[in-house]
Structure 1
Amino acid sequence: MQLRKLGRTNFDVSAVGFGGIPIQKVDEKKAVELIKASKQNGINFIDTARAYGRSEELIGYGIKETGRENWYIATKSPARTYEAMKKDIDISLKKLNIDTIDLYQMHNVKTVEAYEQVMSSSGALRALKEARAQGKIKAIGITSHTLAILEDAVETGEFATIQFPYNPVEPQAEGIFKRAKELNIGVIVMKPVAGGAIRNVEYSIRYILENTNVSTVIPGMDKVEHIRANTAVANDLRPLTDEERQVIMTEAKELGTEFCRRCGYCAPCPQGIDIPSQFILEAYLTKYDLEDWAKERFNGLDKTAHDCIECGSCEPRCPYDLPIRKMMKRVSENFSK
């Protein structure tokens, strides 16, 4: 596995890391199997979060089985205040069952107001710096889906890493990644296949890792075969050929910008609709020539886009500011034809 320096942390991390969102859906036995497979295939960097259900706990079981010395562990919290972040750091340590967390990140700082709050004297950053001085964490990072937030953050000198979406359909962070490299700040790439919207996973990961400003990319993986396939890319990293680049850029162009990344932050829906699943099934209906299959699955759901009352409670939670109500109306119309 190719190793890359994670900025000023000086951690030599695997170019492909383990993204901890989907592991929350498996049981303890499967979680241990996934962490073992990650180690066997060269991964040494794990990224999780307080907000990912049982992810920290399940990863903790895997760390115990494989040896703490084999891992760089990153987690994150959406806490914005000093007291809330201080509490979450201790919870993360307990859930992961480790003494020190290598990288603790402020999670999804989306707005100027949130950024000003975390950076204030009573904000989350103070708790993180205190925990670092106490040896509870080693380095501090920040994640966002808002480019302007990171453009400010990298200039403060407070952060060892940044984390942002990057893939062939979302290349807008290339400038900030270059600036981060100049400032010796590590770059962690989330959403490497746009939440599953990009079908050609290998080409997308190769596209990302061609960028030498990227430290590590963290696809979410809940199957051993996904781990083997994704690590194989970094174990034999080759630049895209002209033909391969054309394939992945054509796919990116077809996706456009108004699509769901399946992060799940829109939940819960007051009507009980699984919002991301609506868009997945719509793609099968309209793009992948699986009309009968998609309609059968859609009609088998208890709640669908037909039940959307356009309350809008989901939209402020979407990190991509998608017009979910408009998109749900489109899904309903497509499945009514």
Structure 2
Amino acid sequence: MLKQNPIGQTGINVSALGLGTVKLGRDQGVKYPSSFTIPDDKAAASLISQAKDLGINLIDTAPAYGNSEERLGTLLKGQRNDWVICSKVGEEFRNGDSFFDFTPEHTRFSVERSLLYLNTDHIDLLLVHSDGNDIDIINRYGILDVLADLKQEGLIRGFGMSTKTVEGGLLAAEKSDCVMVTYNLNHLEEEPVIDYCLQNDKGVLLKKALASGHIAVDSDNSDPVQASMDFIFAHPGVSSAIVGTINPKHLQNNVDNAISALSRLS
């Protein structure tokens, strides 16, 4: 089974792999190497059940993932306590286009809407979905302070930011419980953020650990997924890596490779 790691001092433990759900709700404007069909409810429920059986307890969603949150509200009915739900604020997706709103008013509205869609009274981890202007978002809108207030109110258990710059990642880590960064064999630039989080007891979630599937397609490595898992889990600051597959065989393979990588480190 997959090991679990703590998210800072939140009391939340997450599996080393998390299940990303953009492909459950959105197939437009995504950057995967091949097209895909959004799975129906039966296939989606089967995938979620498989993930749980494999030891995954972290599920990642966002308002920007189409109707992912709404679908999860139904798909996770009766099993809320089995999952750590991570959602986001800041990015919206409507009529095929993304746009951003980081104002305090929209942030609170977005969280309340996510609670409704997800059919829950709290969200475990809530991240700011950055547009790339990390520092400006934090300083101009005070958005992490808004999330701290929502945590005090009990609507969220932990919070942070999905960042795109080293400077933004470091500031977000300083002001919150966790960060989500890009880290893979082809993208090492944000490693200083992971180093900081390790030294300061902050959680780290990885996005694009397999470069949105491109590593498996473009790599010259004979086993690029295993090489990727070996690489990302070699850093002790990594709490969990989000994998967004909707292919049951790929999900099984990802978990097997993660367990193999982690077993060699123990």
Give the distance between the partners of 1:45 and 1:28, measured in 2 at CA: 19
Give unpaired runs (5+ residues) of structure 1. Answer: 241-337
Matching of residues 141-290 of structure 1 within 5 Å: 141-155=160-174, 158-199=175-216, 200-236=224-260, 237-239=262-264
Unaligned stretches of 5+ residues in structure 2: 26-37, 91-100, 217-223
Q: Secondary structure at the match of 2:107?
A: helix
Aligned to 1:258: none
Cα distance in 1 for partners of 2:11, 2:106 equals 28
Paired residue type of 1:72: V
Following superposition, the deviation at residue 172 of structure 1 comes to 1.7
1:17 maps to amino acid = G
Q: Which residue identity lines up with residue 140 of structure 1 in the other structure?
A: F
Q: Partner letter of residue 151 of structure 1?
A: L
Q: Normalising by structure 1, report the TM-score.
A: 0.66
Q: Does 1:83 align with 2:105?
A: yes
RMSD over aligned CA atoms reads 1.7
Greater relative contact order, per chain length (Cα 8 Å cut-off, separation 6+)? 2
8 Å contact 2:183–2:206 — kept in the other structure? yes
Structure with the bigger percentage of strand: 2
What's the CA shift for 1:238? 4.3
After TM superposition, the score normalised by the length of structure 2 is 0.82
8 A Cα contact 2:18 2:242, kept in partner = yes
SS of 1:75 mapped into structure 2: strand
The answer as to whether partners of 1:20 and 1:47 remain within 8 angstroms in 2 is yes
Aligned ranges 1:1-337 → 2 under 5 Å: 1-24=2-25, 25-65=38-78, 67-78=79-90, 79-111=101-133, 112-119=135-142, 124-155=143-174, 158-199=175-216, 200-236=224-260, 237-239=262-264
Partners of 1:89 and 1:186 lie apart in 2 by: 21
- Deviations 1:28-85, CA, capped at 9 Å, x for gaps: 22221111111011000111111010111222223215x1111111100114111000
Q: Percent identity?
A: 31
Letter of the 1:184 partner, please give it: D
Residue 109 of structure 1: CA displacement? 4.8
How far apart, CA to CA, are the structure 1 residues paired with 2:82 and 2:211? 29
